[in-house]
Amino acid sequence: MIPSPLVDVDWLAAHAARDDVRIVDCRWSLSGPPAAEAYARGHLPGAAFVDLDLELAAPRGQGPGRHPIPRAEDFARVLARLGVRAETRVVGYDDVGGAIAARLWWLLRHFGHGGGRVLDGGLQAWTASGRPLDTEAPTIAPAAPLALTAGHAPVVDKRQVDLLRRDPTARVVDARARERYEGRSEPVDARPGHIPGALAAPFVENLVAPGGRFAPLDALRARYAALGLLDARAVVCSCGSGVTACHDLLALALLGRDDAALYEGSWSDWAADASLPAATGIEPG
């Protein structure tokens, strides 16, 4: 089992000044003001900012979907800018319960760096504890780029998903909000609905409340057992573009299921291919 991907506010406050800890602000929004503006207004002391679109994803067209996985050498340059070394514990946070920070955690796993962590409860937990925010960006000495290799956390493409969704020993889950899964709303991708056979597993239901901390392990275990994910031969997590699916992957890792795969392009990839079917409504289809 991998080390716990979560740290709490007390741990981070006690370790934030260490040379082998790097705090990273991962805030992002599908619509609205740029997250860099929110970072400038206030962030955890010592935190650096990363841009999901520019640094935690490759440019569109270099892979499937809206947020393709970056190349190893490009991600290594991001980590170098952040001063991340092989021994660094990289603690990501956001303001949506870890939904974006989990993408950083997963990328670190995928590229063979085991130091990724997510601040449980994120920005809200930090401020609720009475701890201050800062408006100054830290001065970080760049590190030498790490020699990263992809594949340490599994990834699947649409053809593999098309096979696995029909396999009774496998499970495909969808981390998007239920209104998007059901096809009642689709703000960004080519068509509404979900992958036929995929089960709804909204990432927000991993939390005690929207934007809050992760639910207790017993509650998570009951949730994922009911979906059949703890005993399935293979598990694939998807979402809109391969970002919030990482939150479900993180929850599964907390339960010891760290072999689940990410569907890289997720619905943005599947919906764009007219040859692939779509389902709507509350049932998997």
Residue type present at position 139: T
Contact 226, 255 (CB under 8 A): no
CA 184 to chain CA centroid, nearest Å = 24
Which strand (E) or helix (H) includes residue 275?
Answer: none
CA distance 111 to 150: 5
CA distance 107 to 95: 19
Count of other CB atoms within 10 angstroms of residue 143: 17
CA distance 73 to 37: 28
Contact 187, 224 (CB under 8 A): no
Q: At residue 278, what are phi and psi to the nearest 5 degrees?
A: -130, 150
Distances (CA, A) of 172 to 56, 140, 154, 202: 23, 40, 14, 13
- Find the farthest-apart pair of alpha carbons in the chain and give their distance in angstroms, rounded: 53
* Structure-block tokens of residue 97: 């319960």
Closest by CA position to 104, among listed 115, 96, 95, 227: 115
- 26: annotated active-site residue: no
Distances (CA, A) of 90 to 87, 148, 188, 227, 233: 9, 15, 31, 31, 31
Q: At residue 250, what are phi and psi to the nearest 5 degrees?
A: -65, -45
Which of 26, 237, 239, 246 is an active site residue?
Answer: 239
Which active-site residues does the annotation give? 239
